[in-house]
Amino acid sequence: MDEFTSLVTDLANNISNNMEFFKSALIKKPTLVYYKLNELSNFVGSRYNVKLEIHFPNSNKIYNTDDYGKENLSIIIDKFRKVFPIPREQIKQEAANLFKNAMVIDGYMYEGKEGVKIVFDDQVKSRIEILPGSVHLWVRIDEDVEKFCNWLMRYVYTDRLYNKK
């Protein structure tokens, strides 16, 4: 199984195993649910030598338990890395080949830092932000997103396997 697929499957299984707690705590303590979800995501991420975060850009989304771990994720490998280990154009080309209805552009090009942004043509302007040390998925994870993230883990974020924390 590809690494990103394994990561999100592991996260989904851990969320599923704790769903009863999330649903009951959500009634009175949604903030506790947020903290517990990220505690769980940090645990799962540590098994892959990454920091995994779940976000709720719209705070009301915390009430949609079916979406936990399926959108708005960040995977942080090395927040201090400024350049990609492969040519940025190669990342952009891979994204353009996979996401036909999206705009692939340079992003975060300041202070010697590189970045790529994929903006989808949908109602909420979903996007993927790829930085040398992290990827931020502000999009629902479908088959194409999963395939692309597996490619990123294999070709862009490989060094974390050799630099265990």
At 7, the amino acid letter reads L
Taking only the tens place, the pLDDT of each residue in 24-56 is: 999 999 999 999 999 999 999 999 999 999 999
- 0.85 exceeded by pTM: yes
Six-digit token string for 30? 């949604």
Determine the pLDDT at residue 22.
Answer: 96
Mean residue pLDDT across the chain: 93
Beta bridge partners of 154: none
pLDDT at 163 over 60: no
Domain count, the chain: 1
Residue of 45 and 160 predicted with greater confidence? 45
Long-range CB pairs of 156-161, under 8 A, 24+ apart, other chains included: 156/84, 156/85, 156/86, 156/91, 156/130, 156/132, 157/50, 157/75, 157/77, 158/85, 159/85, 160/49, 160/50, 160/77, 160/78, 161/49
Taking only the tens place, the pLDDT of each residue in 79-101 is: 999 999 999 999 999 999 999 98
- Where in the sequence is the domain holding 120, given as residue range(s)? 3-161
